[in-house]
Structures are given as structure tokens and as C-alpha cells.
Amino acid sequence: MIIKRCLLLASLFIGIGYNNQAAAIGDHSIYFVRHAEKQKGKDPELTAAGQCRAQYYAQFFSKTKLDRLFASKYRRNQQTAAPVSAQQKLTALSFDPKNQQDFAKQLAALSGTSLVVAHNHLSEIIRALGGQYEGNIDHSEYRYIFMLDLRDGKLVQQRQLVGPYFSNSCKALP
């Protein structure tokens, strides 16, 4: 059991997804990512680097069985979720990004494993679920993967990973 936990921790720190069917602590493990890098304008599409990040998420979550995937209706969120959606054979469920408190209550009532592709206000959802994050995520930051484990709707563990930056050719940058 100790070896299994060490391998799990090692996989988290080097950015490899893991099968949290066996590793999940709570009744509901929730992953949060901010949409990937976007172009400018109203309801913009992803940049080339953003498309690389979306593919990175599909690879990252390939070893984690997701029960559901949430993404707001905005193009950048749908495009970020699309590779994970295809890889996991899940339809992205829509949520209202302006109503974080109600969405957090819905998440707290679920079980299994979920991925939420949100905006920089995802920190408000994390706080509503009992997690800690000061302020909002900077508009230029796209690398964080947040993980909350809930048991009976209450937070039991919070973790955070930092993914790579990407060039337009999908090369991970330091």
C-alpha cells in the first residue's frame, strides 16, 4: 500500500494523470481547469497554444475515468473540453459561469469524478466547496489543475498542479 501511495504521489508531481477510481479519497473527486489560451474578442476561439493545452488535458486525464465533464457554453471552454470529451466519450454538460454558488452546490451533491472547464472565476467555485484560493486566477494564467476531494459534500483534500506553458507548435516550454 505504501508503494502504491508513493507511485500515486510521484505521478501527480510529474504531471501524469492517474486512475483515481482506486485513489480517490472522497465520494466526489473534482478537477478544475481554466479554459486554455484564447484569442482576443467576444467569445473567442483558442490560440494554437490553447489547442495544444486542450490536447495536453486529454492526455493528462487519459488515465482517469471521468464520470462527467462540465464546460460553460463559451467557445473557448467548449474547445478546451473537446479533446477530453472525445477521449472519454462524454458530452460536456453546460453550466452558468456567473452562478458559481449554485453550481458548487450541484457539484457537492454528486459522486464519482468530474472535470470542470471554467473561467478565471473558478476560484469562487473552489471556495464555495470549502477549498482555498485567494482572489481570482490571473487572466494570463492557464496552467493550473485544481483537485478537490469531497466526502458527503464536504472538502477532505485539496491539491494543485501546475502544467507547462506551450509554444504554438505544442512544444512544452520551461
Each residue of 77-97: pLDDT tens digit? 999 999 999 999 999 999 998
Query: CB under 8 Å to 14, separation ≥6 — which residues?
Result: none
Flag residues of the chain having pLDDT under 50.
Answer: 1-25
Whole-angstrom Cα distance, residue 173 to residue 54? 16
Q: Half-sphere exposure of 145 toward its Cβ, with a 13 Å CA cutoff? A: 23
CA distance 57 to 80: 8
3-state SS, residue 102: helix
Predicted pLDDT of residue 135: 78
If residue 81 lies in a helix (H) or strand (E), which one and from where to where? Answer: helix 75-88
Residue 93, all three cell numbers: 454538460
| CATH T-level assignment (fold) for domain 2-173 | Rossmann fold (3.40.50)
pLDDT score at 106: 96
